[in-house]
Amino acid sequence: MIDKNWEVLNDVQDAFNQITSFSFLLEQLQEAVDANETQKIVDITAALNAFYVPYCDNFDKKFSKAWDTFIKE
């Protein structure tokens, strides 16, 4: 049982870490805005929009599994 609990919580942490990688892209976006680099702004915004939904869906799935493991059991 302990191994299952560790695995579920580790999956939540991994999913959250993927979302926090957005900070790099946000920093790059701010630099592009500050430098008025229009094409970089467009490219980075497209990257953020492309990654946001799958990363959040993954986090939601892992969080729900952890919730079910710890709260519903």
Q: 24-64: per-residue pLDDT in tens?
A: 899 999 999 999 999 999 999 999 999 889 988 999 999 99
- Give the position of tokens 């592009």: 32
Q: Which of 49, 30, 52, 53 is CA-nearest to residue 40?
A: 30
DSSP letter assigned to residue 1: -
Average pLDDT over residues 2-22: 85
Q: Of residues 9 and 1, which shows the higher confidence score?
A: 9
Domain count, the chain: 1
Query: pLDDT grade, residue 1 (50/70/90)?
Result: low
Q: What is the dihedral of CA 60, 61, 63, 69, to 10 degrees?
A: 150
Q: How many CB atoms lie within 10 A of CB 12?
A: 18
What is the Cα–Cα distance from 68 to 71, expressed in whole angstroms?
Answer: 6
